[in-house]
Structure 1
Amino acid sequence: MALTDATAGIGTDTPHGDLLDRVGDWGPVSTPAGCFRLVPVRLGRDLALLSRWMNDRAVSAYWELSGPPSVTADHLRAQLSGDGRSVPCLGTLDGVPMSYWEVYRADLDPLARHCPVRPHDTGIHLLIGSAADRGRRLGGVLLRAVADLILDRRPACMRVIAEPDLRNIPSIAAFLTAGFRFSTEVDLPDKRAALMVRDRSLRHLM
């Protein structure tokens, strides 16, 4: 399945608020791995693919969304029916969906109850969908690309943050490769996490 239209993914089940400056309009970005684009999820189109990814053992160990498609659907609907503070997206590489992303307002998220966040801090979650795409150092390449997209398209955002599980060493390594720094450890309700930060002021140095 290829998604090549710049507006693909914008539909009735996609939030229309501007809390994240219209992620669906951010457009493509060139990376060493190919042309990358964030495409907001459409439940009817994307559920089967995302549910299959969530049932991959390597993914379910950290996302905990394995099971029937309804489990993934409930997770997506919670975002799609909200006010736009979290936008679930497919990540496409040269038009082919290969990753899942959540771009969210960290300052409006429950995360803010557990660690210090700043106004307009923007958070990201990522999973690489296909096992064939893992171990190719794509994570660091794409994380850098998405962090740059956020900083370019969201002028009010001074920091891009993430909170991968401390046990997920490959994920933490990918964030470090992408120019994030380790800030602190954070106790969250479902995990102990590493708070990773990419600062606007340091983006050209790291």
Structure 2
Amino acid sequence: MTVIHPVPALSPIAEIWREFDRRFAETDAERLTMPWRSLDERGIAPRDLRCGYREGDTFVVERGGFYQSAGLWTNHSPAFHLGTEPVPGPDGRDHPRRPTKPEGIFYDRFDRDAGGRVSFEVLEIDRHLGLFHKWQNDPRVAHFWEEDKSEAELAEYLAIRIANPSVLPVVSSFDGDPTGYLEFYWGQEDRLGAYYDAHPWDRGWHGLIGERKHLGRKKTSAWIRSLNHYLFLDCPLTEKIVGEPRADNVKLLSYTEPMGYRKVREFDFPHKRAALMHCDRDVFFRKVRF
């Protein structure tokens, strides 16, 4: 016998968030309005929406503010600890104490351009090691990552990152199908922090799409759009996302410019020639459409 579980009803606040999300997508407007009285009728305090302001008898929502503050996409509380004492970082670069990492699936968004849901889940070695091993031993991935090793070696690789408070290992999925691997990191603690003027709240990422069926411009763009979105949502103090892909990874670099990235310069790591990439918060939310 098939058991049908009812779909949970949306809260009044989530209904309004979804309405604005739909209207922004359909109109490409930079600014949307709603009669102030409609909030009163639903018993909603505007401050609880977190994404707009009053202008006369109208509630105003601006595109950039909405996608930086509405609570539709992540269940992880924003990660910022004001006033926290600095702790010693690598190479003498002090940094704030980093917040607790999320658990389980912590980001989920329907990408209209790709026509599917992008989600991020915290990697668990017991559940995901086989996938990670398969992806790293794909010659296409190994060419850039150089981690085509045994499961035991890769388990150690992941355990080190899981134990590091400045790194979050992630499995990304498309419509619930595991697609690839991401590492989110705080720029000041990463090896990259020594190669540029790193600020305490800079975030960065390494990533690979392991499943060939999920390659292609639309899905890869959805993947980059979503990871940028999450990193800016996660910490309101993050003004810049950084990266250091191989300078000869032409395909990846071609995807980053439409997502608000700019190539600052090339430089030499001990193991590769890298391109220093920056994505500024204001540019991302001004340029990128959801």
Alignment partner, residue 141 of structure 2: 59
SS of the equivalent of 2:226 reads helix
Alignment partner, residue 12 of structure 1: none
Alignment partner, residue 163 of structure 2: 81
The letter for the 1-side match of 2:204 is: G
SS of the equivalent of 2:127 reads helix
CA distance in 2, matches of 1:65, 1:40: 20
Asked if 1:41 corresponds to 2:41, the answer is no
Higher relative contact order (CA 8 A, sep 6+): 1
Task: Render the CA deviation track for 1:72-108: whole Å, top value 9, x for unaligned.
Answer: 21211111122x2001100011111101100000111
Contact 2:106 2:121 in 1 (8 A): no
CA distance in 2, matches of 1:203, 1:76: 30
Contact 1:23 1:40 in 2 (8 A): yes
CA distance in 2, matches of 1:201, 1:135: 27
Task: Render the CA deviation track for 1:153-192: whole Å, top value 9, x for unaligned.
Answer: 2101111111110111001111113221111112212111
Cα 1:20–1:35 shift into 2, 3 Å: farther
Cα 1:42–1:125 shift into 2, 3 Å: same
Asked if 1:159 corresponds to 2:240, the answer is yes
Asked if 1:110 corresponds to 2:191, the answer is yes
The letter for the 2-side match of 1:144 is: R
Q: Give the alignment partner of residue 229 of structure 2, picking from 145, 148, 152.
A: 148
The letter for the 2-side match of 1:39 is: E
Cα 1:48–1:157 shift into 2, 3 Å: same
CA distance in 2, matches of 1:39, 1:79: 15
CA distance in 2, matches of 1:23, 1:201: 25
CA distance in 1, matches of 2:102, 2:225: 16
Cα 1:26–1:149 shift into 2, 3 Å: same
Alignment partner, residue 111 of structure 2: 31
Cα 1:66–1:20 shift into 2, 3 Å: farther
Contiguous gaps of at least 5 residues in structure 1:
1-5, 8-17
Shift of residue 111 of structure 1?
1.3
Q: What do you get for the CA RMSD once the two structures are aligned? A: 2.0
Shift of residue 23 of structure 1?
4.0
SS of the equivalent of 1:204 reads helix
SS of the equivalent of 1:107 reads coil
Alignment partner, residue 22 of structure 1: 101
Identity within the alignment, %: 26
Contiguous gaps of at least 5 residues in structure 2:
1-73, 76-96
Contact 1:59 1:127 in 2 (8 A): yes
Contact 1:79 1:88 in 2 (8 A): yes
Alignment partner, residue 266 of structure 2: 185
Asked if 1:130 corresponds to 2:211, the answer is yes
List structure 1 runs of 4+ shifted beyond 3 angstroms: 20-26
Larger radius of gyration: 2
Q: Give the alignment partner of residue 119 of structure 1, picking from 190, 200, 212.
A: 200
- TM-score scaled by structure 2? 0.61
